[in-house]
A and B are shown apart, each in its own frame.
Chain A
Amino acid sequence: MNIAVCVKQIPDPATPYTLDDENHWVIRPDDQVLDDTDRYGVEIGLQLAEASQGTVTLFSMSPSGSLQGIRQALAMGADKAVIVDDPALKGSDALTTAGILAAAMQRDGFDLVISGTESTDGYSGVMPQMMSEILDVPCLSFARRVEAGNGSVTIERQTSTGYEVVTAPLPALLSVTAGVVEPRYPTFKGIMQSKSKPIETLTASDLGITPDAGQRIAAVEPVPAREAGEIVEDEGEAFEKIIAMLEQVKVI
């Protein structure tokens, strides 16, 4: 099985990002990391590829800077990566990103596309569905369990009240939730091998795409912060403070 996995490099969530003054776009540091939630898609991809003697290709739209996040996913075991890096893509919205990634996948061919449900930094949450429409494949979204084989894929799809079992013939696209599998940690051997794995870099024009945002950020302002209340050190009686507060707000 030829598996395409979408991955994203994001600013380290531990150090909040900032926005540039002119366009209010996220200022991306050079040392971006792999979006933690993408590790689940990479793991599912690796498991399905291992079961079918297939390959895992990473696809990412990523501005210049280090590719340490991509290397992280290669170190887990992915075979190669295709990166679209183009200054014209700065500030791209989900539809542009979906168009870019889908065009790169169409160029290379695929049986299955795997993505997270949303990125940790942008969280528009609609990119996988957009890619499905462009690629003309079924979108098996919000998968919390995945099985594939014999030309089809079956998932448990998360719903507001439980889950439903959804099945579709390949080619197809999956969006997987965090927790769908336990992602493996890169081994030392994997880390060493990742340094020599092929990373191909394309531009938007290589794929015949001209970005067009269709929206602009008109204003950015701080939200008034919620004020901290009383902080108490527990010395055996702090629970009484909690009881008092529950009484005060008439919960008990």
Chain B
Amino acid sequence: MTTWIFAEERDGTLNPGSLELATKARSFGSVSAFLIGTGEQASITALGEHGVTTVYCLDTGDALPSAAAAASLAELVSADDAGIVLFGPGNTDRDVAGRLATRLGRPVVSNALDVAVDGAITVRSEILGGTISITTELTAPAPAIVVTRPKAFAASGMGGGEPELVPVAVPDTGRSGSAMITERHVEATEGPALESAPVVVSGGRGLGSADKFAMLDELAGLLGAAVGGTRAVVDAGWVPYSYQVGQTGKTVKPSVYIACGISGAMQHVVGMKGSSTIIAINKDPDAPIFSIADLGVVGDVHTVVPQLIEALKARG
């Protein structure tokens, strides 16, 4: 059984999540990758190093790639008798997975935290803010189409050699494929990336207003931390979407997560409950965040955070 993984280059760089998928996929047998992008040498080599033996590369130029990718992938996985097609949680992953499933008439299992092949293919996921674990068995014919959660698997190289590179011709998808990308923008962020930072300082509604994030920026600077936020503060426009931690945002697993003025809504907790140590500051003693915090401070963030900043500065 071949397992297929979805990979994407953005600005010529391979999405790191594809290497996590490759690492998991090789435990099932041989792995082929379907890569959207120009097929840079570094991407191909990295996929090979993680166990991929064949890379099919589709470059749709300025066309939004999902319709063409799904059409090509549907043909390739059908011809290859693929057992599983694994996607990451990215936006393009989801665009292609949804269209592929429709073309093949197969269900999609989303939010996968693990996949097992033991006769049947089963997928584990969690609901209700990660309090209930669900195991779903795929009863439809192969391939199983699975969309994983961020960081469901850890990437590790296996010293695999250079994979075979197969360019894929862009199929004509007519009206479905008529969306064009006219501009690309990278939004620069300062400091460490939220997903990989060792410490995350996050803010919620309890901060009261957008300008209070300056305080969190200062605290983060002193700790070498990244700054995150809840969906509520992103929806309110206090910080950009790239800050969002939770179900519909990023999943973080830092050594320390400092939740400032965050109540701990389920959809937020899903994105940070894997943190090694959780420190929460909230004035509401009944806030759900305290039930998962290693240290909970019932107090005003506007008092405690400035004190913390001064104390850290005093240490030099």
Contacts and interface: CB of A to CB of B under 8 A. Distances in A.
Interface of A: 13, 16-17, 19, 24, 37, 93-95, 98, 117-118, 120, 123-130, 132-134, 136-142, 144, 154, 157-169, 171-172, 177-179, 213-223, 225-226, 228-234, 236, 238-243, 245-246, 249, 251-252
A216 B108 contact: no
B90 interface: yes
Nearest to A215: B107
Contacts of B184: 162, 164-165
B133 A216 contact: no
Determine the main DSSP class of A at the interface with B: mixed
Contacts of A133: 67, 70, 98-99, 102-103, 176
Interface string B267-300: 1000001001111010001000011111111111
Contacts of B107: 93-95, 213-215
A98 B185 contact: no
Contacts of B303: 234, 236
13 contacts: A95-B108, A124-B110, A138-B178, A159-B91, A161-B11, A166-B64, A222-B133, A223-B132, A225-B131, A234-B299, A234-B304, A245-B294, A251-B198
Contacts, number: 276
B182 A165 contact: yes
B66 interface: yes
Nearest to A121: B127
A118 B311 CA distance: 43
A159 B101 CA distance: 22
Contacts of A164: 181, 183-185
Contact of B95 (A139, A251, A252): A139
Given A138-B176, A178-B248, A242 B298 contact: no
B179 A168 contact: yes
Given A144-B241, A215-B137, A234-B298, A125 B94 contact: yes
B111 to A, nearest CB: 7
A252 B223 contact: yes
Interface stretch (B31-39, B47-55, B161-169, B229-237): B229-237
Contacts of B223: 246, 251-252
Given A142-B91, A166-B181, 19 more contacts: A93-B108, A129-B97, A130-B102, A139-B95, A158-B91, A169-B178, A172-B179, A178-B248, A215-B107, A215-B140, A220-B135, A222-B133, A223-B126, A226-B273, A229-B294, A231-B285, A231-B293, A233-B285, A238-B299
